[in-house]
Structure 1
Amino acid sequence: MAKAKYVLAVDQGTTGTHVSILDDRLRVVGSSYREFPQHFPKPSWVEHDLDEIWATVEQCIRSALKDAELSGKQMAAVGITNQRETTGLWERASGKPLSRAIVWQDRRTSEHCARLREKGEEPRVREATGLVLDPYFSGTKLSWLLEHVKGARKRAEKGDACFGTIDTWLVYKMTGGQSHVTDVTNASRTLLMDVKRLAWDDSLRDLFGVPAACLPEIRGSAESYGTTRGMRSLPDGIPITGMAGDQQSALFGQACFSPGEAKCTYGTGAFLLMNTGETPVTSKAGLLTTVAWKIGAQTTYALEGSSFIAGAAVQWLRDGLKVIKKSSDVEALAASVKESGDVVFVPALAGLGAPHWRPEARGLFAGMDRSTTVAHLARAALEGVAMQIHDLAEAMRQDSGRQIPAFKVDGGASANDLMMQFQADMLGTEVVRPKDLQTTTLGAAFLAGLGAGVWSGTDAIRQAWKVGKVFKPKMKPEVREKYLTKWRRAVERA
């Protein structure tokens, strides 16, 4: 009888790291999770310590192996998925970070983006990259680091400093500094890659002042990036064979392999992606054109809409307003009132993303009076997250010309039945939740397994995907329109 093969998947997210181990029958046999600190040195600034992130990765791998009762030598491959636009710089020789990483939520480069738009640069940026000029993406973050971190530009020009999103950082660390690579999905979020040629664009490098010598090599999403070396949690020689940004990984993990299939992930932010096939679709409604994955010679594209705040709104209720003790308490609190009344919440705590793209927008509670309670605020917060997704879905329908028969959902906040029912009501479309909500991690494992030959194709993955619960629209049209009207008015004021 053949021995089982195991794939280890690292999901490095905005607030924590999750590691899962899958066997060759796509069953999760071990897992672990660790949070790490968030750093807010100034208003609208968000930073991560790269070494703190790496420490959680090592800890989670050890814990997941212990949970699975397996040794590192039994791993056939490692897959990586990650928070995407977060931008780091480190010393090539030592791996020492030159500064904290600038997180995707950080808005410090809003003025830089505004200046470039005023100069008329956005059309060519959008044409080349499929993105808009917004501080969300890595390009202006990297420019800021090169200008403000002492000695960073000279080091970058000499090739002594490495730029990378978190995937690049993790591969560099896992291989003992031997590999400086990224995959097409993460590179497509930097404002520096031509989305059609899948290569760094020299004119965009010049626009953002980025030296070529600091950039990683762009690779596919399921191939060998190197082998482990010098890790505390894994032996040397384990191949790293799968890599994709978290939202693309979730699209893959949700088995959205055919054009028109779509998913929404509710993590720190909320992200709606639709598979558009082998041809990139240019958005006219404020969405992004991005690479979904590249396997072998075939590239698959997606349309994406991003809401910067989703689960982070619940964390804010917990840590900032202190109206709940733990995140899971929010559903019961929100359900303790029948409706939010006139209260509406715009979750623009880090600006508004697609389709509005207003980095200057700020969070807003509106419609409060003497009868408003914390339960109304909690319910309005959940509804505000869902309303953002409604706006994205409408834009996606316009751009794609498709009616989406159902939305697959995943991520921690998708476990909230109250919010998922409201989401279905607002979309007027079925919301389908899988049995396993950790589809981002599963996507990384699937890609790694394909890259290492554990699985020969996607059929096994599609068969393994199972429906957990379906939420069908129940709200009357006139009630739905009332919600949409108060939402639109609040967004204008945010």
Structure 2
Amino acid sequence: MRAILAIDQGTTNSKAVLVSDKGELVSRGSAPVGIAYPKPGWVEQDPQRVWKSVCEAVTACLQAAPDIGVEAVAISNQRESVTIWDAETGEPLGPVVSWQCRRTAEDCERLIHEGHLDRVQSITGLPLDPMFPGPKFRWLLDRAPAGRHLRVGTIDSWLVHCLTGGQRHACDASNAARSQLFDLQKQAWSEELCAIFDVDISVLPEVLDSAADFGTTLGLPGVPDGTPIRSAIGDSHAALFGHGAFNPGDGKVTFGTGSSVMTTLPGFIAPKSGITTTIAWRISGKPTFAFEGNILVSAASLPWMTEILGLPDVAALIDLAATAEPDGPGFVPAFVGLGAPYWNSEARALFSQINFNTTRAQMARAVTDSIAFQVYDVFSAMQNQSGGGIGALYADGGPSQNRFLMQCVADVLMRPVMQCKAPEASALGAAYLAGLSVGMWPDLETISRLPRQSQLISPEANDSAERRKTWGDAVARSTWNPATVKGE
């Protein structure tokens, strides 16, 4: 059996899967990563632990299928998280600054005040928000020891470095597109952007297609040295590819700690407000563009509320939410501000419209509803700016396996949702790209015909319009700034 080893390096776990030439998942392995919060709003990880977790996940995956050889390696990775290392020794020279980290908020405000917002957004499709890496690169470079040969990059480039024993410094176009240093239309690092963020262009990785030659393995446990690494792609983009969402307008929601909402575009469209434009993937030098909305906190609010209500697990919380009577409160999970389509780093988490009749079930329902309403807001922004409709809509990620949550999403959007039964959509997408690169599958049409486990969830009659009003009121309260009130 021919198989691709796909590594999916996420925020909380690293996963590895073997994907056969029939597109089937043969085995899985996973390992935790660990997250540190050194200051309020700061989120970081240990680069060495990230790499070790990948090795552990790969070992577990290969041990579960000892008789299958690996034809190529594929990479899917958490995006907007960046790190720095010594090019000669491979020694990390700083932490992984997470996509969730807000340490560069003041830098973003300064750049906005200096008038760079419109220019940065027109070149990169991204706003000046602490989620995105431009200022994070500068933060890492400012703290690196002098006299070193530096390399910086997104997580795919760190993994390429580790997988090749330091022989390659490369990333793919989808990850470069999230860096704030990449010109989407010229498909190259921008000297203008590097000057704005004060980043030496020489420390950045080579940008390759998503299906390309990223070198060969050296020292990856259980994998013969010299095994080709033939794809790299951001995890959200990989999920979209894994679903076979190749037609303009096709979209997906990846549910996890946060959520990524993405729809493919017929070509480059500069975003007007609330959402970003990105490269979904690049094959044979040709990019496929997409709209994206990044929701900062999605399912991460579920375990938090589970603990607050003293319930045994998240499943109990969702079961409780399903019993809620109408007219409950609203909840906004702005624990680290609000992402798309609001991009308000000052927003704060809150419940609104609580009274003496509010029940625990209604509070639980407000939390589960917040997942669906954030998706609704992003899709509304996309439809208003794309000029076209939304095609097939897929849902993936761990929380997507819960039928009640996905029914809420379908009901709020008032459109069918394809619930994908395999939660490893990102790993599958990376594997398909690597298989395309080595000739395991000849073209996208063949990949689109590979078997996929999914279930169509149709919308049902509901009171979501009324609940959206409560949600809108809660968002208004969450984003209210007393300093802007007249007379203060």
TM-score w.r.t. length of structure 2: 0.94
Q: Who is 1:308 aligned against?
A: 296
Taking a change above 3 Å as real, the CA distance of residues 67 and 347 of structure 1, as seen in their structure-2 partners, is same
Q: Who is 1:377 aligned against?
A: 363
Q: 1:321 aligns with which of 290, 301, 308?
A: 308
Taking a change above 3 Å as real, the CA distance of residues 293 and 379 of structure 1, as seen in their structure-2 partners, is same
Q: Distance in 1 between matches of 2:453 and 2:418?
A: 7
CA deviations 1:217-244 (Å, max 9, x no partner) are 1111001100001223322011000110
In the alignment, structure 1 residue 99 sits paired with structure 2 residue 94:
yes
Q: Who is 2:257 aligned against?
A: 268
**Letter paired with 1:120:** G
Q: Who is 2:337 aligned against?
A: 351
Q: Distance in 2 between matches of 1:406 and 1:467?
A: 15
Q: 1:250 aligns with which of 235, 239, 243?
A: 239
The alignment partner of 2:346 has SS state of coil
The alignment partner of 1:218 has SS state of strand
Q: Distance in 2 between matches of 1:200 and 1:6?
A: 34
CA deviations 1:338-391 (Å, max 9, x no partner) are 346422111112211111110121211222234444433322111101100000
Q: Distance in 2 between matches of 1:92 and 1:371?
A: 61
In the alignment, structure 1 residue 90 sits paired with structure 2 residue 78:
no
Does the 8 Å CA contact 1:10/1:20 hold for their aligned counterparts? yes
Q: Who is 1:11 aligned against?
A: 8
Q: Distance in 1 between matches of 2:169 and 2:309?
A: 42
In the alignment, structure 1 residue 116 sits paired with structure 2 residue 126:
no
Does the 8 Å CA contact 2:328/2:362 hold for their aligned counterparts? no
How many residues align? The count is 478
State the 1:67 CA deviation: 1.1
The unaligned stretches of length 5 or more in structure 2 are 479-488
State the 1:325 CA deviation: 3.9
Q: Who is 1:292 aligned against?
A: 280
Q: 1:233 aligns with which of 222, 225, 241?
A: 222
CA deviations 1:167-203 (Å, max 9, x no partner) are 0111100000001101000000011000111111011
Q: Distance in 1 between matches of 2:317 and 2:66?
A: 35
Q: Distance in 2 between matches of 1:340 and 1:104?
A: 36
Q: Distance in 2 between matches of 1:491 and 1:466?
A: 37
Does the 8 Å CA contact 2:4/2:435 hold for their aligned counterparts? yes
Q: Distance in 2 between matches of 1:32 and 1:143?
A: 35
CA deviations 1:65-84 (Å, max 9, x no partner) are 1112335xx10101000001
Q: 1:131 aligns with which of 126, 129, 133?
A: 126
CA RMSD of aligned residues (A): 1.6
Q: 1:393 aligns with which of 356, 366, 379?
A: 379
Q: Mean Cα displacement is larger for which, 35-44 or 364-373?
A: 364-373
Q: Who is 1:224 aligned against?
A: 213
The alignment partner of 2:53 has SS state of helix
TM-score w.r.t. length of structure 1: 0.93
Taking a change above 3 Å as real, the CA distance of residues 410 and 340 of structure 1, as seen in their structure-2 partners, is farther
Q: Distance in 1 between matches of 2:309 and 2:358?
A: 16
Q: Who is 1:470 aligned against?
A: 456
Structure 1 residues 11-90: aligned runs within 5 Å:
11-70=8-67, 74-90=69-85
Q: Distance in 2 between matches of 1:36 and 1:379?
A: 30
Q: Who is 1:408 aligned against?
A: 394
Q: Distance in 2 between matches of 1:406 and 1:234?
A: 37
Does the 8 Å CA contact 1:433/1:470 hold for their aligned counterparts? yes
The alignment partner of 2:265 has SS state of strand
Does the 8 Å CA contact 1:59/1:233 hold for their aligned counterparts? no
Q: Distance in 2 between matches of 1:322 and 1:445?
A: 41
The alignment partner of 2:202 has SS state of helix
The alignment partner of 1:281 has SS state of coil
Q: Distance in 1 between matches of 2:309 and 2:10?
A: 23
**Letter paired with 2:456:** V
Taking a change above 3 Å as real, the CA distance of residues 177 and 203 of structure 1, as seen in their structure-2 partners, is same
In the alignment, structure 1 residue 421 sits paired with structure 2 residue 407:
yes
Q: Who is 1:162 aligned against?
A: 151
Q: Distance in 1 between matches of 2:230 and 2:314?
A: 34
The alignment partner of 1:146 has SS state of helix
State the 1:322 CA deviation: 6.9
Q: Who is 1:331 aligned against?
A: 318
The alignment partner of 2:139 has SS state of helix
**Letter paired with 1:101:** V
Percent identity between the aligned chains?
38
Q: 2:466 aligns with which of 477, 482, 489?
A: 482
Q: Distance in 1 between matches of 2:468 and 2:140?
A: 41
The alignment partner of 1:186 has SS state of helix
State the 1:460 CA deviation: 2.6
Q: Distance in 2 between matches of 1:10 and 1:108?
A: 28
Q: Distance in 2 between matches of 1:315 and 1:145?
A: 32
Q: 1:361 aligns with which of 343, 347, 361?
A: 347
Q: Distance in 2 between matches of 1:236 and 1:327?
A: 42
The alignment partner of 1:380 has SS state of helix
Q: Distance in 2 between matches of 1:283 and 1:450?
A: 31
Does the 8 Å CA contact 1:340/1:380 hold for their aligned counterparts? no
The unaligned stretches of length 5 or more in structure 1 are none
The alignment partner of 1:445 has SS state of helix
Q: 1:491 aligns with which of 454, 475, 478?
A: 475
Does the 8 Å CA contact 1:340/1:377 hold for their aligned counterparts? no
Structure 1 residues 172-191: aligned runs within 5 Å:
172-191=161-180
Does the 8 Å CA contact 2:249/2:392 hold for their aligned counterparts? no
Q: Distance in 1 between matches of 2:313 and 2:63?
A: 27
Q: Distance in 2 between matches of 1:489 and 1:214?
A: 46
